[in-house]
Amino acid sequence: MKAAIFHGPHQPLTIEEVDIDDPGPREVIVKTAASGVCHSDLHYVDGAWSFDTPAILGHEAAGIVELVGEQVTYVQPGDHVICCPSVFCGMCERCMTGQPYACDREAVTRSAEEPPKYTWNGQGVAQFAHLSTYAEKMLVHENAIVRIREDMPLDAAALIGCGVTTGFGAVVNTAKVQPGSSVAVFGVGGVGLAAVQGSLVAGARMIIAVDTVESKLAKARELGATHVVDASSNDPVQAIHDLTGGGADHTFEAIGLKLTVEQAYEALRRGGTATVIGLLPAGEKVEIDGRSLLDEKTLQGSSMGSNRFRVDMPRYIDFYMQGRLKLDEMITRRMRLEDVNEAFRAMKAGEVARSVLMFD
């Protein structure tokens, strides 16, 4: 099969022929139909985070089950599925106490003594996020996928695999935004647009989109933002305080920058909650005014939207089919696997909300 190989930071991915192993017990081979290109992958390409090489990146995809291993009971060949990096074992303490997104994942990962899932030129290829979606096929644990209705377009479904689940889920699961709340979203790329839409579905009365790119702000308005702030020419903290009359009830940081995390916290009203969705560079520290804690402000993180993905994702699909969740509008470009480096360039340039790699 063809796959995009990651060789290390600051190097282009190359398209290579890669061998895929047979599925073992509880493993499934999924033929990739579409894969979103997420900013989290760019962190590794840019060297902000490290990962073993060679590797196949990508973690946001949908496809069709091609082959199942022994003991697989959840899916069968021909089923349409969304893949999710929040693979869960269902047995650890986190899974058993309602936090499957925080699973230790030891029971769903091949050991070092087992053969690698992917090989290239005779050497093992590391699997990224238990998925590796920049490939024509994926070999995954059955608990990394959710079966979906077959009338759901797979390019739109791919976005649910990470970006939508992360942004939408941060609003409704992590922060539990209440009807009538005021919300500000810092960064309206794919994840931020999902947070805007989650806020709309949750019933927020004011949804403020903050970005430096005019086209992104226009898209945020299209998808539900009631106000926009161009941070390239305005102080977003002051603008949010002015718009809300004292600060937002909830803010969401969907970029992954120290500055914007701190701004999201400062833009809160007393008693407000800032939820960090973006992936900050390794070792980055965030500073807040200690006295502000007396205002009972909360700064919290969100892991993949605190998801229960086998429950959440079918619900998001229903929202899409009902016209209440706009996914097609979030796809700026549809490209081929061979265009993955161009997709990263466009993302860094702020030209896209989401690029989606389409497979035959």
Choice between 353 and 10, residue whose per-residue pLDDT is larger = 10
At 110, is the pLDDT very low, low, confident or very high (cuts 50, 70, 90)? very high
Of 6-20, 61-75, 108-122, 198-212, give the lowest mean pLDDT range. 108-122
Distance CA 96, CA 89 (A): 10
The residue-averaged pLDDT of 239-251 equals 98
3-class DSSP state for residue 63?
strand
In angstroms, the CA 257 to CA 266 distance is 14
What's the CATH superfamily of 176-301?
A: NAD(P)-binding Rossmann-like Domain (3.40.50.720)
Q: Which residues are catalytic?
A: 38, 40, 43, 59, 162
Query: CATH 3.40.50.720: which residues of the chain?
Result: 176-301
User: What is the average pLDDT across 66-93?
Assistant: 96
Stated pTM of the model: 0.94
Distance CA 155, CA 166 (A): 17
Residue 6 pLDDT: 98
Span(s) in the chain for CATH 3.90.180.10? 2-161+306-358
172: amino acid identity, one letter: V
| DSSP 8-state symbol, 277 | -
In sequence order, what E strands does the chain have?
A: 2-6, 14-17, 19-20, 27-37, 55-56, 61-68, 80-83, 118-120, 123-127, 137-141, 145-147, 182-186, 206-211, 227-230, 248-253, 268-276, 298-301, 331-335, 354-358
CA 104 vs CA 97, 166, 323: distances in Å: 13, 19, 36
Q: If you ran DSSP here, which 8-state letter would residue 8 be given?
A: S
Match 């502000």 to its residue by tokens: 292
- In this predicted structure, what is the pLDDT of residue 181? 98
Residue 85 CB-density burial (10 A; 0-12 exposed, 13-18 middle, 19+ buried): buried
- Give residue 353's pLDDT band: very low, low, confident or very high (50, 70, 90): confident
User: Each residue of 293-350: pLDDT tens digit?
Assistant: 899 999 999 999 999 999 999 999 999 999 999 999 999 999 999 999 999 999 998 8
Per-residue pLDDT, 105: 87
Average pLDDT score over residue span 235-248: 98
Mean pLDDT of 236-253: 98
Residues 27, 114 contacting (CB under 8 angstroms): no
Mean pLDDT over the full length of the chain: 96
pLDDT of 48: 86
pLDDT confidence of residue 360: 82
Per-residue pLDDT reduced to its tens digit, 197-228: 999 999 999 999 999 999 999 999 999 999 99
Q: How far is residue 103's CA from residue 106's CA, in Å, rounded to a whole number?
A: 8
Q: What are the tokens at 324?
A: 């209440």
Domain 2-161+306-358, CATH homologous superfamily name and number:
Medium-chain alcohol dehydrogenases, catalytic domain (3.90.180.10)
